[in-house]
Amino acid sequence: MSQLSTQAIARTETSPAMLIFVLSSLSIFAPLSTDMYLSAFSDIQSYLNAPDGVLELSLSVFFLGLCLGQLLFGPLGDRYGRKTPLLVGAGLYSLTTFLLLLVMSPAAFIGLRFVQALGACGGMVIGRAVVTDLYRGNEAARTMTLLMMLVTLGPVVSPLVGGFLVSAFGWKSVFILMLLIGLLAMVLTWLFLPETLEKDQRLSAPLAQVFAEYGKLLLVRSFIVPALSSALVLGVLFSFITASSSVFQGVMGMGKVEYGLAFGFVALGLVVASLVNNRLLGRIAAADLVKYGLPFFVLSNIILVLIAGTGMVWQLLIVLWFCVALAGFLTANATAVAMSATRGKSGGGSALLGALQFAIASGCSSLVALFISDSVLPLALGMLIPAVLGALLWWLGHVKPVENA
């Protein structure tokens, strides 16, 4: 652990384990809020007397809020420190989640979902910046791996949790759980999270000038190449999540219980990948792990396409396990490499990185949704294409490890 991290944690007697727990609780706002309420669409639509198709806008608006909110919170974190913007974001998220329980119109519901997404961004963006403040090199990559595992597991697990809550307690129970998580994260942040950006390290330039730093970062190859590569790799995960229900239940004829078990099996790959990554980072740099892992990632997605029409369920699940596990592994390391190029402006860098990841990954998800059919092939191609593009970008960009990053 770096001298800075030791001093910052010592000021509040916060253990590293508690620090990771607090950052994790802040980082799961967005993935939980994105998918946990999907099974309640029809119930919410009936409750609000909304026309068909209107509730889907609340998901699109949420993605828009995630992109824009990250661009906002990044500069705020660099200018005003980490803790205050984190508390503001968690408070905004909790308040709008409470108000979502009271709405009576589709327009109000959709508008509040946009504001809820803005609040959710604080933990995502500034949480990564805190990791960059406190840790260096492989230690940073290990911590980033834990956070990314939660972010990528969220969209996989949250539909199953949401489905159970909606069936047992009704649609409002989903938002009550979101509210409780938001309040818990806010209290934990207040009590245990140290301020990791001292006043003399903060940006003093006007916010307009801070926003202009985004343009400069886009021209930094050591940032933009791993940032775009990580976004495309994350797109593979989003493509899987988007089409999984249609493939598992529609094409393969799985019931709800079988679908949940299949999801759990594939999601286990993210946990295993995180554990393996933590071990490897003790000996190999994050950039090298991406370089060595990409060929296996592309190969696994090629195999997925080749077996897409065979109808072999277990073979498909095993290949999907490797595709998803490697996607989580590569996204965490590529994110750490990109963040290592943002020293002195890690809040803005984290914001731009998150916005790029969500924009590109959501685009991959939307394209897969357009071509969903009674075949596994749209899912397989939807995973292979961003995998190949992300690998080519990394290889052609010649990303190298950053010393002492």
Ranges under pLDDT 50 in the chain:
1-6, 8-11, 402-405
Q: Tally Cβ neighbours within 10 Å of residue 50.
A: 19
Question: How many whole angstroms separate alpha carbon 39 and alpha carbon 400?
Answer: 43
Q: Measured on CA atoms in the order 27, 122, 354, 173, is the torsion positive or negative?
A: positive
| Cα–Cα separations (whole angstroms), residue 368 to 64, 229, 270, 313 | 18, 19, 21, 20
Q: Are 286 and 336 in contact (CB under 8 A)?
A: yes
Q: Assess contact for 5 and 89: CB atoms under 8 A.
A: no
User: For residue range 204-260, what is the model confidence (pLDDT) as tens digits?
Assistant: 767 677 667 777 888 888 899 999 999 999 989 888 887 787 788 778 888 766 776
CB atoms within 10 A of CB 351: 34
Q: Are 195 and 8 in contact (CB under 8 A)?
A: yes
Q: Can you spell out the DSSP letters for 207-251?
A: HHHHHHHHHHHHT-HHHHHHHHHHHHHHHHHHHHHHHHHIIIIII
Task: Tell me, letter by letter, the H, E, C secondary structure of 170-218.
Answer: CCHHHHHHHHHHHHHHHHHHHHHCCCCCCHHHCCCCCHHHHHHHHHHHH
- Predicted TM-score (pTM) of the model is 0.72
Tens digit of each residue's pLDDT (9 = 90 or more) over 278-336: 888 878 888 999 999 999 999 999 999 999 888 788 899 999 999 999 998 999 899 88
List phi, psi (to 5°) of 341: -90, 10
Say how far apart CA 169 and CA 77 lie, in whole Å: 38
Closest to 362 (Cα-Cα) out of 34, 111, 121: 34
Tally helices (H) and strands (E) across the chain: 16, 0
